[in-house]
Structure 1
Amino acid sequence: MIEPRLSAEMKVQSLLRLVSQNGGFGAVLKKGDRISGAILIQCLEKGENPKLLENMPSLDGLPNWQQIWPQATDNNKELYEYISQRFRFDPDMWLIELDIPDAERLIAQMGQ
């Protein structure tokens, strides 16, 4: 039996609301497909130390958010080039930015 899932837009809005309620800042940097776009999350803490997270497929269907960045670099240009490359491959993807301590914990609360 297939269970209903939230749209990508609903997931993004829920996460932004959760971050705001916890004293952080969140913004949509690029809108993707409203229904099924992949979501790429850029996590910062006080504007520093960017991390990228993406929900990877899992066998049990549960959320599986994995860190796909940082690489060993202080050069943000490499990060932006990586993100640009991802959008060339998947133009329907969302990019959101969260600036809050322990963003991974809030993302885990979001569910699938």
Structure 2
Amino acid sequence: MTEARPATGLSVSALIRRTEAEGGSAMVLAKGDATAGAILLLLADRGRPVGLCERVWRFEGGFGLDPVGPADLEQPGAASDYIARRRRSDPDLWAVEVDHREALRLARECLC
């Protein structure tokens, strides 16, 4: 039996609203497939990038967030170059920036 899942666009919208409700900011950097696109998150704290992660399906059930991308996001263009490479190989990929001191917690609560 297949488990019903919310559309990707709905999940991204929920993450943005939740982040803004808790005093942070979030924005779509690149829009992917509204129904089943993958989600790549650029996590930031006060404008400083602190991580990149991607929502992945766990075979034991449900979604998780795995760290991806370059180790040093402080390098100019490191995050944007990685996102551009991923989008070239997967045009259905959503890229979302979440700027909040607890960005990872918010992402887990909304996307996993």
TM over 0.5: yes
- Inter-partner Cα distance in structure 2 for 1:93 and 1:72: 22
Look up the SS of the partner of 1:76 in the other structure. Answer: coil
Task: Please tell me the root mean square deviation across aligned C-alpha atoms, in Å.
Answer: 1.5
- Inter-partner Cα distance in structure 1 for 2:111 and 2:95: 18
Instruction: Could you tell me which runs of 5 or more consecutive residues in structure 2 were left unpaired when the two chains were aligned.
Output: none
Paired position in structure 1 for 2:80: 80
Paired position in structure 2 for 1:23: 23
CA distances 1:11-60 after superposition (whole Å, capped 9, x unpaired) = 00010011011110011111100100101111100011341110122122
CA contact (8 A) 2:55 2:111 kept: no
- Inter-partner Cα distance in structure 2 for 1:97 and 1:78: 14
When residues 23 and 73 of structure 1 are mapped into structure 2, their CA distance, relative to the original with a 3 A threshold, is: closer
Paired position in structure 1 for 2:90: 90
- Inter-partner Cα distance in structure 1 for 2:9 and 2:63: 16
Instruction: Could you tell me which runs of 5 or more consecutive residues in structure 1 were left unpaired when the two chains were aligned.
Output: none
- Inter-partner Cα distance in structure 2 for 1:10 and 1:21: 16
Look up the SS of the partner of 2:3 in the other structure. Answer: coil
Aligned counterparts, 1:1-80, within 5 A: 1-72=1-72, 74-80=74-80
When residues 101 and 46 of structure 1 are mapped into structure 2, their CA distance, relative to the original with a 3 A threshold, is: same
Stretches of 4+ aligned residues off by more than 4 angstroms? none
What percentage of aligned pairs have identical amino acids? 31
1:110 has 2:107 as partner: no
CA contact (8 A) 2:50 2:73 kept: no
CA contact (8 A) 1:50 1:70 kept: no
